[in-house]
Amino acid sequence: MADDRQNIIDKAETRFLETQKKNADKARAMTEYQTQAKLRAQKTAKLRELRLARDEADRAAEAAKPAPVKKKRAAAKAVSA
């Protein structure tokens, strides 16, 4: 009877330790996930800022270019045809 009681206590302790380990693993995994998500968000924000700056520089460079001059067709060719 005492052996049965000790066996039950040992099983309960084992289950408790397993549960504690699982909870610690879950907490560690959640912390890692949150850290990675935060880093990904920071990287995305940085890349977005760089892309917007590049696009703005491209627009400014395009605006600074003179407009191409369109060539007119010779009126003589159109009339003689």
Q: Note whether residue 75 is domain-resident.
A: no
Q: Note whether residue 23 is domain-resident.
A: yes
pLDDT of 26-39, one tens digit each?
999 999 999 999 99
Lookup result for tokens 């066996």: 7
Three-state DSSP class for residue 68: coil
**Residues spanned by the domain of 11:** 2-65
Sign of CA dihedral 72, 73, 76, 78: negative
Q: Note whether residue 77 is domain-resident.
A: no
Q: What share of the chain is helix, strand, coil (3-state, %, to 5)?
A: 85, 0, 15
Q: Note whether residue 73 is domain-resident.
A: no
Q: Note whether residue 16 is domain-resident.
A: yes
Lookup result for tokens 């880093």: 39
% of the chain surpassing 90 pLDDT: 70
- Give how many domains the chain has, as a whole number: 1
Q: Note whether residue 72 is domain-resident.
A: no
Q: Look at residue 69 in the predicted model and tell me its pLDDT.
A: 78
Q: Note whether residue 70 is domain-resident.
A: no
